[in-house]
Structure 1
Amino acid sequence: MILLAGVIAAFRFFFGGETSSLDFDGDKIGIVRIEGMLTDSEEINTWIRELRDDKSVKGVVLRVNCPGGAVAPSQEIYNAVVRLTAAKPVVVSMSSLAASGGYYVSAPAHLIMANPSTITGSIGVIMEMSNLEGLFEKLGIQRQALTSGKLKDAGSPFRAMTPEDRKYLMGLIADIHEQFVADVAKARKIDINTLRPIADGRALTGNQALKAGLVDKLGGFEEAVEELKILCGLDPTKRMPVVEGPEKDEPWLRQILGAIRLDVHTDLPESGVVIR
């Protein structure tokens, strides 16, 4: 197993200019992949902390392909990125999607890059609830609830929402949204009143986000790595080892074939216009 790990690392370094281990000697660049819905921050933040504390990691690229997610994990990753930027250069490379929570976690970076067609922004908060009252009536099902207060079951799918329920829930949404807007304004050094008109939940393309000041440059992952090297005071044309995470469990054969750039699977492309 030790020999196999060494072979994989060697293939990645000599054929792809990268390795997946922080144990690799010499200066390197870190990659943090933030993909899919944000429902938990532990793995991402653990990897960010490892990259932050490793002196051989000269800078970090956040590769973001994320439509959003829960608020608290987004805030925790945002704070981890803030701490990372205090230690070393950080560049965001947006893929198809970096919207809502995906933009939230990107905001503190020293430089944000998006593709012209990247869907980003969507600085907003949504709470969705269903009303099944009519269905239950047709089925002859009666719901009974004992609560300690009249707002305890606000948003219940078993009854219609009252004006008081709506006011209470909108208060929660408004407070969370204000936190979101304030954090983005602080991270991007934008006056909060300048930000508010575009912080109404609307999604933007990379082109539009550049004009609005939400991203700094247009370009893909390769350009983001070059920009990071420049921020680190390194030669942007020089190949460097790359450490990437959080690690995903993959069969050892796929790791070897992936290291020598042979693809053993085909995935349908993700839609870039699905916004939550």
Structure 2
Amino acid sequence: MKRYLFLAAFLFCCLTSFNTVFAATVDTVLTQSKIMRKDIKAVVIKPASYSADKKFPTLYLLHGAGGKYSEWLNKTPDRETVKRLSDAYGIVVVCPDGGATSWYFDSPEDSTYQYETYITFELVAYIDSHYSTIKDRTARAITGLSMGGHGGLYLGFRHQDVFGACGSMSGGVDIRPFPENWDISKRLGKYSEHPDRWETNTVINLTHLLTPNKLAIIIDCGNNDFFYKVNVDLHDKLLDRNIPHDFIIRPGGHTWEYWDNAINYQMLFFSRYFNRSKS
């Protein structure tokens, strides 16, 4: 009997060790933003297959308003979701701190909120110089939730030389209906005083930058979300312009339960894009 107990304990330890070794690992890094003159944290999730001898595609995963860099690891109902998906698809996932309410613009009002330049140039350069990544737009994607959904499409549309794919989950893809919300006026100035800034920095007005099949796009929003209408409006505008994209509507609201589910669809979409780009 003791022999069997010992064998069971040995097998349990082996399996535990196996799961510990062959699992995604998480780095918390401190990156420097020269344009904002400050250090900014990010988490970098490396898949189990990560090796300096191999190059990996990268997904930049953005948080929402009031959030921070660590949220995708500690706010989802299943805390392991993003790590498990990184493992499954062999993708390096980068979750930067985007400021509480940056909206991922370069703010004309506040020099300490220049997050478009930080994410697109400073952070990408840091990741590509410190990690074993494929340094090409066809191996980079960007997405996020809520404010980060706006950021995913905003940066993806505006920087197609950097990102080959982009997405949004419950994204604020048209900021104009919300002139008093989420500190947007602190970043762009009041809508009544600077309507031009609002018009040129809302995602729905950036579709003129797109050409069919150049950028892979996925948009996901729950039918009970307060951003539902603006997402449907963006979908319709993309259809009118003949821009291919995946558009997902499911029951749900503006919740972590929804995003914990949505990220599964998004990472599958990006993995398929990365694999097609290799062939």
- Interval containing the TM-score (normalised by the shorter chain): 0.3 to 0.5
Q: State the TM-score, normalizing by the size of structure 1.
A: 0.38
Q: State the TM-score, normalizing by the size of structure 2.
A: 0.37
Q: Which structure ranks higher in relative contact order (CA pairs < 8 Å, sequence separation ≥ 6)?
A: 1
